[in-house]
Chain A
């Protein structure tokens, strides 16, 4: 498989502390990759190394199959980025900020108006960025990242400071990029709900280590609902179910079915009824992605 981003044993130490440890990130072309982790997990440090702003202590970064160490300039021509807080020149207007980058990137002038339109800043194009709200600065940062229509867009916490309508707009914009321009997008966030709505692949990082990396569907499978059944004799019911070949767990006051689909639930319940158990309750318990995320990062911290 062709990876746009691939890191091998990526490690960064600050003194004795390892901010990033043996991180193996793999992003296939055309994906929206959600880079998820609590604050201070090493997301920004990783992104800085992806952009060559910071040198890894050990390990390597490959973008477009080329090593960052020796091909930095060539690689960065195809990468747009927004790292941490929005960066800008306060003494310049929105347009002038983009113009300063445009001169280096050597793209046609009309791109400036195009990207300003895309992030809906065209009406304030000639106002000084100093007076912008955080959300506007954030949108300007994204505009700057898209100026040269890069193949890879790296956005670090792009919805920080945006209001709900701004978040929705940003989400729609980001989701359209792979289809319309063939871009690959890396978005970092500490909010799972945000990643859940945009990403096609997820990498979860905690304490500098990658603890999960797969498609969003695989992650969602962890979140499948389980069915709790409360009967007059839970233990007897549990034994009967197991004897009948139905996977189930015995809880304190209920039995939890690990059912694959609705039919299986129906069959199990019917079976219990036939055996003469009194069924008090059948209820669904959802494990949210949020819970899974918390459990994942907690396990890592405990270990």
Chain B
């Protein structure tokens, strides 16, 4: 299993797209710095930055970048018979699927950590003297990551199914863009998988819950969409004719 992940990492690393992981944290950094003029009365100056930065990052870039990476990890397999070559090696399809998925979620975790660094940098540059609210920031970072797990599973499924790079990207955008509207709806917001990264990173959410949203929402929406997308993609790949 480790050797398969290792091989996947090797192929992805050489494709020179890992700079994409820097894009979202950097944009977060700029947003954090650009809004320095607005003064909001807050208990902690960090909160204001977090709200500003999380909005664009969690609604747009987290889902989009994860989708693009999922496409890249399949792109070179589609190009010149990579699937054929890979599956003629002594590996099971299940292992290949799982390896690609694990690698993707690890990379997204790395991106979340870089975003954490961005947040901290903004504070340092702006000279925020309030104590860094690690107790809520880690929830935001980790919660946002958990919420993208189902989205990555779906993007991997779609990227395996379509040879073209455009199709998975289009699907990604189609589901991601409405998020900005859906999260404002009390009724639909909590049930929209693409809205979860924002809701789980939103430090302004209900403070009584561990991840700013109720546990049952995490389990039902994130959990069930993960199961559907992951099992769907897994089974699809098992059956796919290569």
Contacts and interface: CB of A to CB of B under 8 A. Distances in A.
Interface of A: 48, 51-54, 72-74, 76-77, 79, 81, 83-92, 96, 99-101, 103-106, 144
Given A53-B242, A96-B14, A99-B10, A104 B89 contact: yes
Contacts of A106: 3
B159 to A, nearest CB: 16
B10 A86 contact: no
Contacts of B185: none
Contacts of B7: 100-101, 103-104
A79 B81 CA distance: 18
A104 B15 CA distance: 19
B11 A83 contact: no
Pick from B6, B80, B89, B91 the residue with the most CB of A within 10 Å.
Answer: B89
A87 B242 CA distance: 12
A61 to B, nearest CB: 14
Interface in B75-96: 76, 79-82, 84-85, 87-92
A84 B83 CA distance: 13
Interface string B103-124: 0000000000000000000000
A250 to B, nearest CB: 55
Interface in B1-57: 3-4, 6-7, 10-11, 14-16
Contacts of B81: 83-88
Give the top 9 A-B pairs by smallest Cβ distance, nearest first: A87-B81, A87-B85, A103-B7, A76-B90, A77-B90, A81-B88, A73-B90, A89-B76, A87-B84
Contacts of A99: 10
B125 interface: no
B103 to A, nearest CB: 13
A173 B4 CA distance: 30
Contact of B80 (A48, A79, A87, A105): A87
Interface string B207-242: 000000000000000000000000000000000011
A53 B15 contact: no
Given A83-B81, A103-B7, 6 more contacts: A72-B92, A76-B89, A83-B88, A92-B14, A100-B10, A106-B3
Given A54-B241, A86-B81, A105 B76 contact: no
Nearest to A73: B90
A105 B7 CA distance: 10
A274 B15 CA distance: 84
Contacts of B15: 91
Given A87-B82, A90-B76, A104 B91 contact: yes
